[in-house]
Structure 1
Amino acid sequence: MELSLHRLRMLRELHRRGTVTAAAAALHYTASAVSQQLAQLERDVGAKLFERLGRRVQLTELGMLLTEHAEDILGSVERATLALEEAQDTASVRLTAGVWASVASGLLPTALTTLAADHPGIEVRTRELAPEDTAGAVRDGALDFSFVIDYSDMPMPWEPGLERAVIAVERLHAAVPTGAIPAGSVSLLELAEHPWILAGPRSHFGRAVLIACQRSGFEPKINHEVGEQATAMAMVGAGLGITLVSDLGLTLRPPGVDVVALTSPVMRTVSIAYRTTASRRPSLQFVIDAVRTAAAELGLGVRSPLP
């Protein structure tokens, strides 16, 4: 019998999630692709591993047995990867990172240029995800590390088995149509009567801004619900409303947008999340150092040791 690590990861995720659809979403595959791979795993094993109970899938006794061994096998692969990296004088490895737009445009170009110069054997590939999804993808093994955010008014729920390294602290600023607010600074409450352009309440950013507005004494009138800061600022530039934007998001600012400081700043911390079992990987530490250097060059750096 020859077991595929790829299919064992899908089995593990199915056990965690309970449905093929949820497992596929967590692993960023289609449900059809996961179903086909799981069916092939049953053929590889030569035994029935799953039973359908309505929309959910229940593992048979043999399926549970294989899942337990899958955890051990996948953990051994990660430990072997770490041992090989530690044994090499020059790291040669490929890492996959979870990113979102402002990190990809504001931090990564400088960080990856520095990394390539100092450690040419390390290749970083990126996958753009919603900030709310990146930590879960690291936990599930789909990513080696990801960028995550905590807001001053709303800390992020933390995933067990993950650690984080703080790499930057950002302020949020008001982004308004040119000339709409002539003062150099403004309070959130003074923005209460403006129409807002904001991410939805299911997004971490949208919830954090909503909470900050509520604590300032008002409910923002949201005329346009959009997820990306770049999209929101383009709509601000067209005169459709106002929004808040982070320091890194300012790299995406289009013409027609003024940036106004908040008198009581809303802060957010940007960190790199990684599995606890990967904390000793040299390649990961080299990446964190390169990203911290890029953040420091932008005036956003926070020097703190790798947990």
Structure 2
Amino acid sequence: MELSLRRLRMLRELHRRGTVTAAAAALHYTTSAVSQQLALLERDVGATLFVRHGRRVQLTDAGLVLAEHAEEILRSVERATTALERTQDGVTARLVGGVWASVASSLLPKALTLLAVEHPGIEVRTKELAPEDTAGAVQVGTLDFSFVIDYSNYPMPWDPALTRVVIAVERLHAVMPPGTAPAETMTLADLAEYPWVLAGPTSHFGRAVRIACQRSGFEPRINHEVGEQATALAMVAAGLGVTLVSDLGLTLPPPGIEVVALTDPLMRTISIAHRGADAQRRPLQLVIDAVRTAAAAQGLAVSLPSEEPSITHE
């Protein structure tokens, strides 16, 4: 019997989440792909592993036994990977990281260029996901690490099985159409009467900004709901409203926009999340070091005590 690690990972998620749809979403596969792979796993082992009850799935006795062993097998593979990396004279590894737009366009190119020069044996591949989804993809094993965000007024829910290493702290700035900024600095409440360009309320960014506005005494009048900061900036440049943007989002600003410092700025922390069991993986730590160096080059460095290089949320 030959067992596929990918199929075992799918069975593990099916056991955890109860539906093929939920397992597929967690692993970033289509539902049909997961169903096909689980059917092949049943063929591999020669036993029925699950039965359907409406939309939910119940594992059979054989399925439960294999799911329990899948947890052990997958943890053993992670430990073996770490142990092998430690034995190598040169540092070589292939890591997959979760990114989102402003990180991918600003921090990541500088970090990977530095990494390629100092440690050419480390290959980093990336997948762009919504910031709300990246930590979950690390937890289920489809990513080795991911960039995550916490806003000063709206922390992201945290899985205690993951470790978070702080990379940078950013300010959010007001961005206004050309010729409309009333002063060099302003409060968030000063934007109450303007139309807004903002991400939807289900996004972490959109929710954090709405909370900040509400605490400043107003509900933003959102004329255009868009997900990407680059899109929002282009719409602001066209005179369609105001928005907030982070330091990284201003790496390539469109011409004409006016960036105004807020006297009561909303802050956000950028971190790298990884599984706690991977804390000793040297290639992962070298990637983190390279990203920190890139952040420092942009003036976003965070000073942490040398004896406590990572921060874990409980």
TM-score, normalising length: structure 2: 0.96
| Match in the other structure for 2:67 | 67
SS at match of 1:209: helix
Name the aligned partner's letter for residue 31 of structure 1: T
The one of 299, 306, 309 aligned to 1:306: 309
| Match in the other structure for 1:273 | 273
Q: Work out the CA distance in 2 between the residues paired with 1:232 and 1:157.
A: 26
Q: Work out the CA distance in 1 between the residues paired with 2:251 and 2:32.
A: 39
Q: Work out the CA distance in 2 between the residues paired with 1:303 and 1:292.
A: 10
Match status 1:120 vs 2:123: no
How many Å apart are 1:303 and its aligned residue? 3.0
Contact 1:167/1:303, CA 8 A, preserved across alignment: no
| Match in the other structure for 1:3 | 3
Match status 1:16 vs 2:16: yes
SS at match of 2:227: coil
Q: Work out the CA distance in 2 between the residues paired with 1:30 and 1:64.
A: 23
How many Å apart are 1:256 and its aligned residue? 2.7
| Match in the other structure for 2:95 | 95
Name the aligned partner's letter for residue 115 of structure 2: L
Name the aligned partner's letter for residue 226 of structure 1: V
How many Å apart are 1:101 and its aligned residue? 0.5
SS at match of 1:24: helix
Q: Deviations over 1:1-43 (max 9, x none)?
A: 1110010000011111211111111111111111000000000
Q: Work out the CA distance in 2 between the residues paired with 1:17 and 1:177.
A: 46
| Match in the other structure for 2:152 | 152
Between Structure 1 and Structure 2, how many residues are aligned? 307
How many Å apart are 1:61 and its aligned residue? 1.1
Aligned CA-pair RMSD: 0.8
| Match in the other structure for 2:169 | 169
Moved over 6 A (4+): none
SS at match of 1:218: coil
Q: Work out the CA distance in 2 between the residues paired with 1:61 and 1:152.
A: 47
Q: Work out the CA distance in 2 between the residues paired with 1:108 and 1:272.
A: 12
| Match in the other structure for 2:56 | 56
Match status 1:200 vs 2:203: no
Q: Work out the CA distance in 2 between the residues paired with 1:252 and 1:211.
A: 27
| Match in the other structure for 2:185 | 185
TM-score, normalising length: structure 1: 0.98
Contact 1:149/1:269, CA 8 A, preserved across alignment: yes
Q: Work out the CA distance in 1 between the residues paired with 2:293 and 2:158.
A: 25
Of the structure 1 ranges 249-258 and 30-39, higher mean CA displacement relative to structure 2 is found in 249-258
Q: Deviations over 1:162-185 (max 9, x none)?
A: 001101000000111011114111
Contact 1:172/1:246, CA 8 A, preserved across alignment: yes
| Match in the other structure for 1:29 | 29
Task: Give the gaps of 5 or more residues in structure 1.
Answer: none
Q: Deviations over 1:219-243 (max 9, x none)?
A: 1111111111011111111111011
Name the aligned partner's letter for residue 76 of structure 1: S
SS at match of 1:107: helix
Q: Deviations over 1:127-156 (max 9, x none)?
A: 000000000000000100000001110111
How many Å apart are 1:258 and its aligned residue? 1.1
Contact 1:292/1:303, CA 8 A, preserved across alignment: no
Percentage of pairs with the same residue: 74
Of the structure 1 ranges 269-278 and 295-304, higher mean CA displacement relative to structure 2 is found in 295-304
SS at match of 2:89: coil
| Match in the other structure for 1:136 | 136
Q: Work out the CA distance in 2 between the residues paired with 1:48 and 1:97.
A: 34
Q: Deviations over 1:88-131 (max 9, x none)?
A: 12111100000001000110111001111111100100000000
SS at match of 1:36: helix
Q: Deviations over 1:197-221 (max 9, x none)?
A: 1111111101110111111111111
Contact 1:187/1:263, CA 8 A, preserved across alignment: yes
How many Å apart are 1:53 and its aligned residue? 0.6
How many Å apart are 1:196 and its aligned residue? 0.7
How many Å apart are 1:251 and its aligned residue? 1.3
Name the aligned partner's letter for residue 195 of structure 1: P
Q: Work out the CA distance in 1 between the residues paired with 2:137 and 2:14.
A: 14
Of the structure 1 ranges 160-169 and 253-262, higher mean CA displacement relative to structure 2 is found in 253-262
Contact 1:198/1:243, CA 8 A, preserved across alignment: yes
How many Å apart are 1:306 and its aligned residue? 2.7
SS at match of 2:112: helix
Contact 1:20/1:31, CA 8 A, preserved across alignment: yes
